[in-house]
Amino acid sequence: MPRSNLIKILLSATIIVGAGGYLLADTMAEPEVLTYFQPADVVIVNQKDFLGQRIRMGGHVAKDSILLKKGTLEYQFEVKPVLGMMKFPEAKDKTITVRYTGVVPDTFKDDAEVIVTGMVQPDGSFVAKELLAKCPSKYEAEQKNQGTY
Amino acid sequence: MATFGYALLLMTLVVSTYTGSAAIVGHHLKSQRLAVSARYGAFAVFGLLSCASSALVYLFVVNDYSVKYVQHYSDRSMPLFYKATSFWGGQDGSLLFWVWVMSIWGAIAIYQNRDKNKELIPYSLATLMVITVFFVTLMLFNANPFETYAAGAPTDGKGLNPLLQNPYMVIHPPMLYLGYIGWTIPFCFAIGALAHGKLDYGWIAAMRRWCLVAWVFLSVGLVLGGLWAYEELGWGGYWAWDPVENAAFMPWLTGTAFIHSVQVQERRQMYKAWNLLLIILTFLLTLLGTMMTRSGVVQSVHAFAQSNIGTYFFGFIILTCVVSFGLLIYRSKALAPQSGLESILSREFAFLVNNWILLAAAFFVTFATLFPSLFKAVSGKEVNVGPSFFNTWMIPIGLILLFLTGIGPLLSWRKSTGTTIRQQFTVPAIVGVLGCLGLVFGVGITHWKALAALSICIFVSSTIFQEFWRGTRHRMKNAGENAFDALITLVTRARRRYGGYVVHFGVVVMFLGFAGESFKKEIDQTLKVGEKITIGRYDVRLDDLKFEDDGQKTMVTAVTTAFKTGTDISLGQLTPAKWAYRKPADQTTTEVSKRMSISDDLYLVLAGYDGEARTAILQLKVNPLVNFVWLGTFFLMIGFSIAVWPERREQKAKATVRGMAPAMVGATTLALAMLTLVLAFI
Ligand code: HEM
């Protein structure tokens, strides 16, 4: 191989690897890139382990627990574990308090399945920066498996 | 009727099995009669599926709630229009819709090639039938849209999610599907070519228009999805790297790579294997996308079906891989290139880089979308990949691609000399640099990504204008035409080239819209009736809080007026609202209200309210340049229409409408799409 070609190839390889490496480092440096998901029962039982760690927590909104401070977007509600999918049965009747400030999706209501992203606080509550909610399975999700279709 | 529909599906299964076998057997026995009967089989499949689809629509229209699918996706109170279009509202119906569209495309392809490409047809047709059989079997045994309640059928339906009762949602899935499925036909022809061993330019020539049609539908489908999200979901954006969106974006990337690299095979007989690989990948990605969105393999906020059809899809994907890659390896000798790359400063090489980048993007998006699933399979932990992960990678990739869009078309085939390079790039480079300086010092933009995007946009536009300018000038001088005539002849003489340029200009315009995101503003604010708030160049005043009920839903509306900041000049009324539907029970929707202008959108969401205190919590956003995204799509469609229309020589040679069939289908449907877009904006 002529030397000039070798140089060209080495140069392009360096650029590509360098750019890729830079991007990779850049992505990994961002805290919001990868967030672990934890079911509510795991968080309820092992609260201390999650202190100061950004997680996504999944569960159901406990009935009649949604409180909204009048004239604001400050929500507080209780999240309970998803029955039937629990690793820690002792968390069955327990809930965790979640605080969230912001606009909630239309699907956010009693019994809705929610995924909240945020951190467990030293006082045992969960402060969410992001909230996703799914209707209590009125649409597609349940139909196939439960034969209501 | 439901039984009839089911019977039709069974018949489709039989006929498509026959058609596939007849095509292959006929080819081997050299039986003309079998070959002809196979061709008619393709039309029969189309006929049967059309009847089955009509049957399903009919069941929706007559409110037959003994059919589970109908019961699940409609109710009596829905307007007729939405009842009919609920056809593709759920999984089972959308599978039927899918095969039906495929049978339409298939029938057109077979008709169009009825006395051309004889050697390609048998295996292509057989491939098409295998895919048909797969989908029909899936429906018959696993996702039957005609399934009825054994006893005690409900008297009313559950209703369609109001979020989906929106004109975009009516037009968006069919567009995406037309695009998705459009790629099936080129894939079948690729397999046909591989199986037969006729690997020259023939199959690609037969398929170029199909690919363009599929490509444009996919593009428009993607944009409509974004438009829907922007209008309906109320978070003020149009793209969130959601798996459902990514699923359609992945084949778009490989498809775009394909329509470029085929040009190299056409001109220089290179990249043959590569082109086949790209079309196979594109098809695989459409399957993967369907599997992801329709089987709950990947979690998504769109919350589509979770069911076991994923396993079947997975099996089918493996089968497709084995067959396609097996054939590629089997034919590897015949696929060796006939000429090599001569220079890096050539269009061939530019296309190669274009392909690498598009492929890298496709690979990255696929990887990142599947990452949570893969990670869970390996470590058992669930992890989420956020949009920032996608953006970190895709923004640089997009910018490089945009830059190349300016470079590639100006390079010559084989080798560009120093003189041509200077001739082609001096002006655009100067304009680009001046533009960049102007943006920094004149406008004061410091956000580097936006700055890069905008400067590259200026550079690329000037390359495109230069091409048009030079061509027109040349004609004006040589043929003595006036500017307008010269431009028209220029474009009609080389539709492909100038159509391509217009498409590229559309991409540039879209990037302007993407860049605008860097400058968006957002405020959440509680307002009392009568109070005002300032955001960007607007003052927004809450005038009233209205409570109404129209029988189907209760509506809370915040009546607001937008003013030019610091003045009393009214810019119009905005009425963000919250609707609570009776059916499905408790379903609420947020009705966004926005004021559109070319420089930005004022976007209001009613986040909460207090009737007694007469306060409303408003979420206010200013989204600069978003409308350029939709505007760019228009250019994309116009460019496509120019590129896809047969050149004059071709028209003479054929002198029939036949050759133009896909172009006509494409243009008509696109015209419809444009109409919806236009209507949506009034
Ligand atoms: C997102 C980006 C792009 C899109 C959507 C796009 C789309 C298109 C389309 C639809 C055509 C018409 C094809 C035909 O008529 O068969 C075309 C032509 C073309 N594209 Fe692109 N393209 C993109 C990027 C690029 C890049 C990066 C290059 C650089 C290598 C490039 C180079 C060309 C060339 C040279 C033509 C043909 C013009 C001619 O016939 O002379 N494109 N493009």
Query: Could you report the per-residue pLDDT of B533-553, keeping only the tens digit for each?
Result: 999 889 999 999 989 888 778
Cβ contact, residue pair B307, A70, below 8 Å? no
Task: Kindly report which listed range (B102-106, B335-339, B370-374, B451-455) carries the lowest average pLDDT score.
Answer: B335-339
Q: Report the candidate in B537, B526, B681, B547 with the shortest Cα–Cα distance to residue B606.
A: B526
The helix/strand/coil state of B7 is helix
Is the separation of the CB atoms in B559 and B527 below 8 Å? Answer: no
Q: Report the candidate in B123, B133, B73 with the shortest Cα–Cα distance to residue B102.
A: B133
Q: How far is the centre of ligand 1, averaged over its atoms, from the C-alpha of B497 (Å)?
A: 9
The ligand 1 atom nearest the CA atom of B263: 16
Strand partners, B545: B558
Q: Report the candidate in B196, B297, B210, B220 with the shortest Cα–Cα distance to residue B259.
A: B210
Please give the residue that has the higher pLDDT: either B369 or B507: B507
Does B374 fall in a domain? no
Is the separation of the CB atoms in B408 and B351 below 8 Å? Answer: yes
- What is the total count of domains within chain B? 1
Does B511 fall in a domain? no
pLDDT band at residue A3, thresholds of 50, 70 and 90? low
Q: How far is CA B507 from the centre of its chain?
A: 14
The ligand 1 atom nearest the CA atom of B219: 5
CB contact, 8 Å: A62 with chain B?
A: no
- Give the Cα separation of A140 and B306 in Å (integer): 7
Q: Using CA positions, which residue lies closest to atom 35 of ligand 1?
A: B409
The helix/strand/coil state of A59 is strand
Cβ contact, residue pair B392, A36, below 8 Å? no
The helix/strand/coil state of A128 is strand
Radius of gyration in angstroms for the set of CA atoms belonging to chain B, rounded to a whole number: 27
Helix, strand, coil percentages in chain B from 3-state DSSP, rounded to 5 = 65, 10, 20
Q: Pinpoint the alpha helices (H) of chain A.
A: 3-29, 40-45, 140-146
Neighbours of B257 (CB within 10 A): 25
Does B145 fall in a domain? no
Is the separation of the CB atoms in B383 and A35 below 8 Å? Answer: yes
CB-defined contacts A:B, below 8 A = 99
Residues of chain A in contact with residue B607, where contact means CB-CB under 8 angstroms, are 73, 103-104
pLDDT band at residue B672, thresholds of 50, 70 and 90? low
CB contact, 8 Å: A32 with chain B?
A: yes
Task: Kindly report which listed range (A31-40, B7-16, B183-192, B600-609) carries the lowest average pLDDT score.
Answer: A31-40
Is the separation of the CB atoms in A98 and A116 below 8 Å? Answer: yes
| Ligand 1 pocket residues where CB is under 6 Å | B 208, 212, 256, 259-260, 347, 350-351, 354, 401, 404-405, 408-409, 496-497, 499-500, 503-504, 507, 643
A57-76 per-position pLDDT tens digit: 888 888 888 888 877 788 99
Cβ contact, residue pair A30, B613, below 8 Å? no
Residues of chain B in contact with residue A117, where contact means CB-CB under 8 angstroms, are 384
The ligand 1 atom nearest the CA atom of B506: 5
Is the separation of the CB atoms in B236 and B603 below 8 Å? Answer: yes
Parallel, antiparallel or unpaired: strands B521-528 and A96-101: unpaired
- Give the Cα separation of B523 and B539 in Å (integer): 12
For the domain made up of A36-134, give the CATH fold: OB fold (Dihydrolipoamide Acetyltransferase, E2P) (2.40.50)
Token pair listed for B52? 């089955």
B243-289 per-position pLDDT tens digit: 878 888 999 999 999 999 888 887 777 778 888 899 999 999 998 88
CA distances from A125 to A44, A50, A96 (A): 10, 11, 6
Kindly compute the dihedral angle of the four CA atoms of residues B174, B141, B187, B650, in this order, to the nearest 10 degrees.
-50
Token pair listed for B180? 């998705």
Token pair listed for B447? 């956000």
Cβ contact, residue pair B613, A68, below 8 Å? no
Parallel, antiparallel or unpaired: strands B382-385 and A34-39: antiparallel
Parallel, antiparallel or unpaired: strands B593-596 and A67-68: unpaired
Is the separation of the CB atoms in B281 and B363 below 8 Å? Answer: no
The helix/strand/coil state of B544 is strand
Q: Using CA positions, which residue lies closest to atom 30 of ligand 1?
A: B408
Q: What percent of chain B has pLDDT over 90?
A: 24
Task: Kindly report which listed range (A104-113, B143-152, B236-245, B670-679) carries the lowest average pLDDT score.
Answer: B670-679
Q: How far is the centre of ligand 1, averaged over its atoms, from the C-alpha of B465 (Å)?
A: 15
Q: Chain B closest CA to A38's CA: distance in Å?
A: 7
Across chain B, mean pLDDT equals 83
What pLDDT is stored for residue B539 in this prediction?
92
Kindly compute the dihedral angle of the four CA atoms of residues B558, B559, B564, B569, in this order, to the nearest 10 degrees.
-170
Q: Name B487's Cβ contacts closer than 8 Å, sequence gap at least 6.
A: B468, B472
Q: How far is the centre of ligand 1, averaged over its atoms, from the C-alpha of B81 (Å)?
A: 38
Number of H helices, E strands in chain B: 21, 11
Sort B420 into a burial class: Cβ within 10 Å, 0-12 / 13-18 / 19+.
middle
- pLDDT of A147 strictly over 60: no
Q: What percent of chain A has pLDDT over 70?
A: 79
B304-315 per-position pLDDT tens digit: 444 567 778 888
Does B545 fall in a domain? yes
User: Phi/psi of residue B196, each to 5°?
Assistant: -80, -25
B330-372 per-position pLDDT tens digit: 887 777 766 666 677 788 888 888 888 999 899 889 888 888 7
- Give the Cα separation of B346 and B415 in Å (integer): 5
Does B540 fall in a domain? yes
- Give the Cα separation of B503 and B516 in Å (integer): 20
Strand partners, B600: B624
What pLDDT is stored for residue B511 in this prediction?
94
Nearest CA in chain B to A75: B608
Cβ contact, residue pair A71, B619, below 8 Å? no
CA distances from B616 to A71, A109, B560, B568, B609 (A): 7, 19, 10, 22, 4
Token pair listed for B36? 């002809």
Residues of chain B in contact with residue A70, where contact means CB-CB under 8 angstroms, are 610, 613
Cβ contact, residue pair B307, A30, below 8 Å? no
Q: Chain A closest CA to B26's CA: distance in Å?
A: 41
Domain extent at residue B613: 519-624
Is the separation of the CB atoms in B639 and B500 below 8 Å? Answer: yes
Nearest CA in chain B to A72: B526
Does B541 fall in a domain? yes
What pLDDT is stored for residue B489 in this prediction?
82
Residues of chain A in contact with residue B69, where contact means CB-CB under 8 angstroms, are 149
Q: How far is CA B518 from the centre of its chain?
A: 24
CB contact, 8 Å: A109 with chain B?
A: yes
pTM of the model: 0.86
Cβ contact, residue pair A36, B381, below 8 Å? yes
Q: Name B70's Cβ contacts closer than 8 Å, sequence gap at least 6.
A: B56, B59, B60, B63, B64, B86, B157
- Give the Cα separation of B192 and A96 in Å (integer): 60
- Give the Cα separation of B470 and B487 in Å (integer): 10
Does B532 fall in a domain? yes
Buried b (16+ CB within 10 A) or exposed e, B587-600: bbbbbbbbbeeeeb
Structural domain spans, chain A: 1-32, 36-134
Q: How far apart are the first and last CA of chain B?
A: 40
The residue ranges of DSSP E strands in A21-125, in sequence order, are 34-39, 54-61, 67-68, 74-80, 96-101, 113-120
